[in-house]
A and B are shown apart, each in its own frame.
Chain A
Amino acid sequence: MTTYREAVREALREALIRDDRVFLMGEDVGAYGGCFGVSRGLLDEFGPERIRDTPLSESAFVGAGIGAALGGLRPIVEIMTVNFSLLALDQILNNAATLRHMSGGQLGVPLVIRMATGAGRQLGAQHSHSLEAFYAHIPGLRVLSPATVADARGMLWTALQDPDPVLIFEPIALYNSEAELPADAGAVDIDSAVIRRAGTDVTLVSYGGGLRVAEAAAEELAGDGISAEVIDLRTLRPLDEATVLASIARTHRLVVVDEGWRSVSISAEIAARAAENGYYLLDAPIARVCTAEVPIPYARQLEEAALPQPGVVAAAVRKAVS
């Protein structure tokens, strides 16, 4: 069995081995081994030139990453949690995402930024939010969220092939999750959503940390004879709308599970597109199960209460199919 954390580490090792231009930088990625233990051991293996600790200045080291990418390297920048990434938003939005456009196509920024996202580990409001939607809003970026061990293993290398900036959101709650990973597991497609579970009665769309919830709900519903199809978006920008619509064409019902807040969220985007382009496929109102619109609480029970739970998803599905 391989943990999600190990899968990410393997992906990093592979990238560092395969391409001399790749290096990892971020706060505590070296001597400390990464605040979630992802890069533990890499400093010993690859040395301080390629596993670089940075000062506590997101704007500075993301900017340095952009410069390195422009200079021909393939930097992987790690930001501890998405909350802190906002300090580098200017670099990400105004430089990384726009340089291709503003240089008339002359300058690409082949940069990969990894960051942890989401709640579930009692880290308090400032370390627990899911702000993927902020970045999925920005043209010029590709935004990924691996929800499985295999995707955690495979997405990084694919992302490094992209000539433009790619953001990878790793759900904090998944680092300890385990799955069998084939020895030859490698790069995965980052263009398409994937159907994690086939079903006929309802389409459950989710991504990242919400996927576990959707799958648990589907399992619960299967006991009641309700067949839920579970779609993992994998890529939040650009969205694979076709897979979602094709599924709705079979099930005619849509429930979106999103660990982000409901308002102006990924779930809002999915629902809007389903309504825009799948109106004549839908036989029930679209339902969304999202995180309560509060800062994520520290207390375990409150944190659980704020997050989407399988029971709530199952209830939303029952309402849609009833």
Chain B
Amino acid sequence: MPEFRMPSLGADMTEGTLLEWRVHEGDAVHKGDVVAEVDTTKAAIEVECFEDGVIGELLVPEGTTVPVGTPLATIEPPGAEPARRAAATPASVSPASASTVPVAPESPTAPAVPVAPHDQDGRESAFRATPLIHRIAAEAGIDLASVHGSAPGGRIVRADLDRAILERRGGNRAVVRASGYARRLADTAGVELADIVGSGPEGAVRAADVRAAVSGTEAAAPATDPAPVSNRPSSAAISAPEPGQHAAPQHDPAEVRKLIAAAMTRSKRTIPHYYLSSTIDMMAARNWLAEHNRQVPVTDRILPAALLLAAVARAVRTVPELNGHWIDDEFHPASHVHLGVVVSMRSGGIIVPTIPDADRLALPELMTALRGVAERARAVRLRSSDATPATITVTNLGDLGVDSVFGVIAAPQVAIVGFGAVTERPCAVDGLLGVRPQLTATLSADHRATDGAIGARFLHAVDTLLQTPEEL
């Protein structure tokens, strides 16, 4: 059963206060409808629901502060049978409201009902749980529909819930049964234990399973109970400066989409963006990189992306007005440059890990860091350092061939830098028309914090740095 939860409205948001309900039990709601107003300690924000349906029960009274992820209300899918609904109603916070749960009317305006895949799979089991289980799940913010029931008939028992809670807290690693040797092999090979079907006692993963998964002789079976990406450090998945790609059904893209949607909506709604773009000549950078990479082993080669990140990290040091956060109607400059790097996930959606102290890393170190966070991000296996709150973000779509990208700022940051592809372009050089590798760098910045002049200064600084790549 879909639930409407306390949304994460920013990297730093851990709880929110429900100020006002805009809907009543029994109201039909549609995706995008404002259902409540939430105080995030920064601002009162109208929050929307992401499903069509009927508000089942308001679980949290107005004025209550609850952690992010806490179910605020149940949303019955349109057309749910009343009998099921009654059984599914969790133990109520206020008994009075439970008795007034209305019968779900057919939703008149939602002929096609988008339902997250796991809801369909899990619906049966969600209703086979005792009220106690419902209550614990509600308190822990666990959607019972996503919990696999191990008891006869798929009934969810306490152990299943504990496992789900543990999983959410520590990721899958904590609950995968695997031998120490298998863990080591998996770690070395860079494969996720949770993705491997174990052949040992009680499904324990053993070395042979890891080897089979790595060699591909036994295709890594998909996890039967995929953990939503949102269960990972949510601070990482905060920003979506580019349009999402087609989503493959893995890692619950719907959840990722929701996070991105909330963050982007908030950004576009609250941040007055201004945009600048600048064409940067990459002849010097390209030549220097080619020369450098010729002299080092293949593993030590540096990609142009690392060079661009280095330039941004150093440039923003000279323009500190763009490096920091806009909080409580005030700009708070950051003392470090923590660079957010937008990584597109193969399953769709994006995740934005951070390279901490990027301005202090030498170019090879930055390259290593970039490779590390990109790999971990794509494996959806970030470290806590990767979730360091970024002070400025870079999105690089150059490898996808676009000329330029204007990013959406990841609030509460105040700027995002976009890089397009380096392409051979005709341009005037020393009074003659020449063909040179060039790149369009863009800046989307928060107009509350800075004006175009400062942005221009920043882009100019990036340009200047890239003309002397050997000094980066």
Contact = CB atoms under 8 A, between A and B. Distances in A.
Determine if chain A interacts with chain B: yes
B272 interface: no
A252 B207 contact: yes
A284 interface: yes
A35 interface: no
B180 A284 contact: no
Contacts of A278: 180
Nearest to A319: B201
Interface stretch (B181-189, B227-235, B294-302, B346-354): B181-189
Contact of A284 (B183, B184, B200): B200
Contacts of B207: 252, 283
B338 interface: no
Contacts of B179: 252, 282-284
Nearest to B183: A280
Interface string A273-297: 0000011111111000000000000
B188 to A, nearest CB: 10
Contacts of B206: 283-284
B213 to A, nearest CB: 14
Main secondary structure of the interface of B (DSSP, over half): helix
Contact of A252 (B181, B183, B200): B181
Contacts of A280: 180-181, 183-184
Most B Cβ at <10 Å: residue of A252, A278, A279: A252
A280 B183 CA distance: 7
Interface string B196-225: 000011000011100000000000000000
Contacts of B183: 280
A53 to B, nearest CB: 55
Interface residues of A, number: 9
Contacts of A285: 201
A282 B200 contact: no
A252 B200 CA distance: 14
B176 to A, nearest CB: 15
Nearest to B208: A283
Interface residues of B, number: 11
Contacts of B181: 252, 280-283
B200 A281 contact: no
Contacts of B200: 284
A305 to B, nearest CB: 27
Contacts of A279: 180
Contacts of A252: 179, 181, 207
A285 B179 CA distance: 8
Nearest to B180: A279
Contacts of A283: 179-182, 206-208
A279 B181 CA distance: 7
A281 B208 CA distance: 13
Contacts of A284: 179, 200, 206
Best-surrounded residue of A278, A279, A282, A283 (most CB of chain B within 10 A): A283
Contacts of A281: 180-181
Nearest to A284: B179
A280 B181 CA distance: 4
Contacts of A282: 179-181
Nearest to B209: A283
B209 to A, nearest CB: 10
A284 B208 CA distance: 11
A283 B208 CA distance: 9
Contacts of B180: 278-283
A285 B180 CA distance: 10
Interface in B151-210: 179-184, 200-201, 206-208
A282 B180 CA distance: 6
A230 to B, nearest CB: 21
A129 B74 CA distance: 67
A278 B184 CA distance: 11
A275 to B, nearest CB: 8
A220 B182 CA distance: 28
A284 B204 CA distance: 9
Nearest to B205: A283
A216 to B, nearest CB: 26
A285 B181 CA distance: 11
A283 B199 CA distance: 12
B201 to A, nearest CB: 8
A94 B201 CA distance: 47
B196 to A, nearest CB: 13
Nearest to B200: A284
A178 to B, nearest CB: 40
B190 to A, nearest CB: 16
A284 B183 CA distance: 12
Nearest to B182: A283
Nearest to B201: A285
Q: Which of B181, B183, B200 has the most CB of A within 10 A?
A: B181
B205 to A, nearest CB: 10
Contacts of B184: 280
A279 B178 CA distance: 11
Nearest to B179: A283
B452 to A, nearest CB: 56
Interface in B289-326: none
Contacts of B208: 283
B328 to A, nearest CB: 48
B163 to A, nearest CB: 21
A173 B182 CA distance: 40
Nearest to A249: B181
A123 B304 CA distance: 81
B331 to A, nearest CB: 49
B210 to A, nearest CB: 9
A269 B53 CA distance: 61
A281 B179 CA distance: 9
A284 B182 CA distance: 9
A90 to B, nearest CB: 42
A64 B181 CA distance: 52
B47 to A, nearest CB: 46
A284 B181 CA distance: 8
A188 B179 CA distance: 37
Given A252-B207, A284-B179, 13 more contacts: A252-B179, A278-B180, A280-B183, A281-B180, A281-B181, A282-B179, A282-B180, A283-B180, A283-B181, A283-B207, A283-B208, A284-B206, A285-B201
3 tightest CB-CB pairs across the interface, nearest first? A279-B180, A283-B181, A280-B184
25 contacts: A252-B179, A252-B181, A252-B207, A278-B180, A279-B180, A280-B180, A280-B181, A280-B183, A280-B184, A281-B180, A281-B181, A282-B179, A282-B180, A282-B181, A283-B179, A283-B180, A283-B181, A283-B182, A283-B206, A283-B207, A283-B208, A284-B179, A284-B200, A284-B206, A285-B201
